[in-house]
Structure 1
Amino acid sequence: MRNFRNWHTMTVSPAFSGASPAASPADPALGLLPVWKLSDLYAAKDAPEFVADLEKARTLSLAFEEKWKGKLADAAAKTGAGGLGEALSEYDALDDLLGKIGSFAGLTYFSDTSNPANGKFYGDIQTKLTDLSSHLLFFALELNRIDDAVINAAMDRDPATGHFRPWLVDLRMDKPFQLDDKLEQLFLEKSMTSAAAFNRLFDETMSELRFEVDGEKQPLEITLNMLVEPEPETRAKAAVALSKTFGENLRVFTLITNTLAKDKEISDRWRGFEDIADSRHLANRVEREVVDALSEAVTQAYPRLSHRYYAMKAKWLGVDQLNYWDRNAPLPETPKGLISWPEAKDTVLSAYGAFSPEMAAIAGRFFDEEWIDAPARPGKAPGAFAHPVVPSAHPYVLVNYMGKPRDVMTLAHELGHGVHQVLAGGQGALMCQTPLTLAETASVFGEMLTFRALLEKTRDKRERKAMLAQKVEDMINTVVRQIAFYQFERKIHTARKQGELTSEQIGELWLSVQNESLGPAIRISEGYETWWTYIPHFIHSPFYVYAYAFGDCLVNSLYAVYQNAAPGFQDKYFDLLKAGGTKHHSELLKPFGLDATDPSFWSKGLSMIEGLIDELEALDKAV
């Protein structure tokens, strides 16, 4: 059921009591890297404003329950004061307030999960927010018990209620899977000691892991980054270090995986979901048949995409097979120099500005107003993210910037999310949240704009080949790899129904999908069977991963429309982003002449990747 935001799903990085620390110099060649300013939310964990807002949230939650519980059916018959529109407005404001508090606690904790004080703060605030949410849980449940005709009449009659029509219509899709109030409250309160607890265990364990390379122990992000270094020996050493540490911690990751899979199976069974991924499809507001068609289309394309590309890459690198750790190795043609932060900023903003000055202006605020945390440093969580916070505040972006071309693409990706979140914020707290399948649209589109802008400037054929190769690899990682992840999750959750899985069994399932998706040009050797352990999406958001493939294929089709579009495309695109969670994917794509339920839709998206591989093959012959 839908409640307030789930803060443990964030992958974030060091907070410093909400203050803005001095920017980190990192590698001098990168320039001064910015650190975000969490004081925009609250000055510190014990700031008077934070304490006051927490007390305000408690008072308002209790008052809301007292005012509205058991009275929503009567409210639905009224217009104006005391009507359902008033209740929805109050609920929307409460969601924003609780979201702001939860964001600050989550960002602070994930900023440095190794800090015990941050862990206690996060845990305490999570507990308080869960307690407050238990007083608000009745609202959605009671609304869904009101007859459809009554709700429809209220939306038609009362403008204040009608404003929330998309949210109410969306909420009623949950109705068949809704339990009685006591069970829903039990599920909510027990989440702190079940899924949330094991999510926290995963995050803290991963943050503490160190990987030894040449006698030096380093965190995950830095070690993973070594896999895209130009020297084969460096990549091999990193792979050995990763496999060794993952293997030493298999027991805890196996326990986490088994526990969360079982926890989800219990929840799905009680709610009546038929398929193991149906709860995710419902949350994404996408039909199971659409996802099945996507998965099948990508699987059938493996030979034309990943198998074909990796065979080409093996030839370029002078081997019959690539080691699994060489999958993302840079080509010899790849420029060796680091890209400074100012250059990365200019690259992304210029590409955004060429598409839309408004888009560049919004993205520019992230740099100018200290909404970005860029340095890679000990204790900082790996990866990258854009967190929307709440409409009354602003989003934050985290990247681990090391000056590689892929880091520039990651920055473009996350700023796309940020622009989307700013634009959707106008819908208010309840309706700004976009389903995961559409949440990747702006990020992948921003990445594509940046790539195309860079490619157009590149005249050297060897550099162009390196750029195209890297883009193809990124698209394979986004589409092929994520669908393989989705199929791995399906195998895990299906097998878990028969009993606990051993580390060896999980490893075998992992290798089965990796072999199929990567193809014969990749040598899967000992050690790779443990690499499922570090993928956070499996833990935080089961079956999230297909959203990346959905978004990439969608944007490929959308970008093809843009390339041939008449004036006005940008306006329609901004309307899509501003919609937030108020419209179904079919309604949002219709102005562009696209339909994800059309069997040929996914083929169109995949054909763009295939076309880039064709271009690479032709360019290789010309170099």
Structure 2
Amino acid sequence: MTAMLGELPTWKLEDLYSSPTGTDVENDLKRATADAQAFAKDYEGKVAGLDGKALGAAIARFEALTDLMGRLGSYAQLYYAQNMADPERGRFSQNVSEALNEATAKLVFFRLEMNKIEDGDLAARMKEPALAKYAPWLRDVRLFRPHDLSDELEKYIHDQSVVGSSAWSRLFDETIARLRYPFRDEVLTEPQILDKLSNKDAAVRRDAAKSFGKVQGDNIAVFSLITNTLIKDKEIDDRWRKYPRPQSFRNLANVVEDEVVDALVSSVKSAYPRLAHRYYKLKAKWFGVDKMPYWDRNAPLPEHDDRVIPWAEAEKIVLDAYNAFSPELAAVGKKFFGTGWIDAPARPGKSPGAFAHPTVPSAHPYLLLNYQGKVRDVMTLAHELGHGVHQVLAARQGALMADTPLTLAETASVFGEMLTFQSLLKSAPDKSTRKAMLAGKVEDMLNTVVRQIAFYDFESRLHTARRQGELTPEAIGEVWMAVQSESLGPAFTFDEEYRHYWSYIGHFIHSPFYVYAYAFGDCLVNSLYAAYQSGQSDFQTKYLDMLRAGGVKRHKELLAPFGLDASDPAFWDKGLGVISGFVDELEKL
């Protein structure tokens, strides 16, 4: 298989630090600690008395510290992600995390003291350009003013996190990384066994699904304990901070109104029948059955392109698609190849799935894939490269304002996928290939929109139920089965082991309620792409400006140049209509 894929790239982490034992890591950790102490000495208890120019200078120092500590933290995380089953890597990552936690504890006062400045007073100081530069960051920091606790409590929560929620998250990661799944005469890792669920052979899909469900079931007590503990930890935090509901923190962090998220969720749930139910009924018909077993959800059609796509070809496909849209976008994308910015091979112990890590503006992003040569892997490359390009373009906003709210963080990634898909679709040689490609795209969109909103619904139900007491693995499994049946529809049968499938989804652990961002991004991109196809003037320029904005602007400001408004309920129906239109075409084919 490796020979067929060609030479796969791996990370060059030396762009950040020479090695885990390098003096540069040790020196920067010492510098971060010393700089944090000096910052606290200069400003603690004095922020309220700073004029606009002095406050701007303080924030600039804080930003430089954020970049330095972000570089250290990124290096530790990426080094660990390369082999999460290696205890030495785990130890290094935890030690860096603890050292950084100790240093950042000295900075907790800064945000709290800024939030105690009255609005009118801050507005007067904002006339100073050195402070006005940071207006978007201050705006977002001050969103949390009503939820701040006392200085002492905030410092305690900060210190305690390394042995609290972070430790439970690490336990989840290391448990998943160490699990092995028997498959015929092989023993596979999580990414390898899950890859079998899209195999062309039904017997392979069945055996893989059964093995995966059994191993998850054998470990379900651990996953249930982690989930129960983290949900309770969040409930305590939410109660003290007076968040009205479990989703409130995530929505505030995403700088999106509760009612906008509610409108998205409501639109998608009401569209389940005309999207997922209708498509999977059609798929069952293609397979010659009334009902499919759950392991056929991602089964390829007989016409599916199942060739192995070498890495070099995947790179060309994606960059050509980006270039046809915008040579400038493709030029940024090209920086990721041949430079050690991508880690592509699937290896035992490696972090599963795929991600784009922005690191810090003074460095560059890193992409992680588990590339196995499928068309879906090419789409994953297009997706993560979109994130990477977005992160490169937004870096000019600096360490405090480069990060995009999650609701917009998926825009460039999903748009990159759409560009690549449309490019491949144009080159489809015949009707049956077009049908298979459309079906694959519809399934990806259903996984991004319907499946992720079902995940959000699952989380919402769990967080509500947990407030009445600890949930047994059986109770969690019941909620999972109910949500899956509702979202996927009557075309599936679910065997007993499927009730354990919730337990491998890391977003529930690391970022509660993150998942709706995927649906937000997909529907938003569908509307954006429709504007592009309609020949909207200067679309590429507006699009690149949107990516460059990072976290400086909110969704209303960013979408206004395209004539789009996410707070309008009809906006979501327009995005969902694109998926529905693809299903219409498949019904005709």
TM-score class normalised by the smaller sequence: over 0.9
**Does the residue aligned with 2:344 lie in a helix, a strand or coil?**
strand
Query: Which deviates the most, 119-128 or 345-354?
Result: 119-128
Mapped to 2, the partners of 1:403 and 1:264 lie a distance apart of 39
Mapped to 2, the partners of 1:599 and 1:529 lie a distance apart of: 33
Structure 1 counterpart of 2:14, from 25, 30, 39: 39
Distance 1:175 1:395 in 2: 31
2: CA distance, partners of 1:335 / 1:437:
32
The corresponding residue for 2:513 is 543
Within 2, Cα distance between the matches of 1:521 and 1:312?
9
Pairing 1:176-575 to 2, within 5 Å after superposition: 176-575=146-545
Aligned to 1:87: 58
Structure 1 residue 235, shift from structure 2 partner: 0.1
Which residue does the alignment assign to 1:57? Answer: 32
Deviation at 1:117, TM superposition (A): 1.0
Mapped to 2, the partners of 1:266 and 1:55 lie a distance apart of 34
Q: Secondary structure at the match of 2:45?
A: coil
Shift of 1:48: 1.6
Residue identity opposite 1:530 in structure 2: H
Residue aligning to 1:71: 46
| Paired residues of 2:10 and 2:344 also in contact (CA < 8 A) | yes
Asked if the contact 2:305–2:375 (Cα under 8 Å) also holds between the matched residues in 1, the reply is no
For 1:338 and 1:459, the matched residues in 2 are separated by: 18
- Deviation track 1:215-234 (CA, whole Å, cap 9, x = no partner) reads 32110000000000000000
One-letter amino acid of the counterpart of residue 169, structure 1: R
* Cα distance per residue 1:351-407 (max 9 Å; x no partner): 000111111111111013120000011111210000000000000001110010000
Shift of 1:566: 3.3
Matches of 2:94 and 2:346, distance apart in 1: 25
Q: Report deviation, 1:249.
A: 0.1
Distance 1:179 1:78 in 2: 25
The more displaced of 539-548 and 376-385 is 376-385
Q: CA shift at 1:111, angstroms?
A: 1.4
- Does the 8 A contact of 2:29 with 2:72 survive in 1? yes
Counterpart CA distance in 1 for 2:139 and 2:94 is 34
1:144 maps to a residue whose letter is: N
Unpaired stretches in structure 2, ≥5 consecutive residues: none
- Which of 91, 99, 105 is residue 70 of structure 2 equivalent to? 99
Deviations 1:403-459 (A, max 9, x none): 100000000000000000001100000001111110000000000000001101113
- State the distance in 1 between where 2:346 and 2:379 align: 16
Q: Which residue identity lines up with residue 451 of structure 1 in the other structure?
A: F
**Cross-structure match for 1:134:** 105
Quote how far apart the aligned CAs of 1:78 are. 4.8
Check whether the contact 2:306–2:375 (CA below 8 A) recurs between aligned residues: no
Matches within 5 A, 1:571-590: 571-590=541-560
- Residues 1:118 and 2:75 aligned together: no
Deviation at 1:572?
0.6
Partners of 2:386 and 2:316 in 1: CA distance: 15
CA distance in 2, matches of 1:546, 1:319: 32
Q: TM-score, normalised by structure 1?
A: 0.94
Q: Tell me how far apart the structure 2 counterparts of residues 64 and 28 of structure 1 sit (CA, whole Å).
A: 53
Q: Does 2:134 align with 1:159?
A: no
Q: Secondary structure at the match of 1:527?
A: helix
- Measured in 2, the distance between the counterparts of 1:605 and 1:359 equals 24
Q: Residue 36 of structure 1: CA displacement?
A: 1.0
State the Cα deviation string for residues 25-46 of structure 1 (Å, max 9, x = none): x521111111010010001011
Question: Residue type of the partner of 2:315?
Answer: K
Task: Give the drift of 1:250.
Answer: 0.6
* Equivalent AA in structure 1 for residue 141 of structure 2: L
Q: In structure 2, what is the Cα distance between the partners aligned to 1:27 and 1:61?
A: 47
Deviations 1:166-215 (A, max 9, x none): 00111111100011100101111111111000000000000000000113
Looking at structure 1, the residues matched to 476 and 536 of structure 2 have their Cα atoms a distance apart, in angstroms, of 50
**Percent of residue pairs identical:** 57
Q: Distance in 1 between matches of 2:194 and 2:272?
A: 25
1:346 to partner: Cα distance = 0.2
Q: Which runs of 4+ in 1 moved over 3 A?
A: none
Secondary structure at 2:367's aligned position in 1? strand
Structure 1 stretches lacking a partner, 5+ long: 1-25
Determine helix, strand or coil for the equivalent of 1:400: coil
1:73 positional shift: 1.7
Aligned residues: 589
Aligned residue for 2:461, secondary structure, equals: helix
AA at the equivalent of 1:41: L
SS of the equivalent of 1:368 reads coil
Distance 1:551 1:566 in 2: 20
How far apart in 2 are the matches of 1:133 and 1:40?
24
Counterparts of 2:9 and 2:356 in 1: how far apart (Å)?
Answer: 15
Distance 2:344 2:104 in 1: 33
SS of 1:366's partner is: coil
Cα distance, 1:335 vs. partner? 2.0
**SS state of the match for residue 217, structure 1?**
strand
Which deviations, in whole Å up to 9, do the C-alpha atoms of 1:302-321 show, x marking residues without a partner? 11000000000001111111
Q: 2:52·2:126 contact (CA, 8 Å) conserved in 1?
A: no
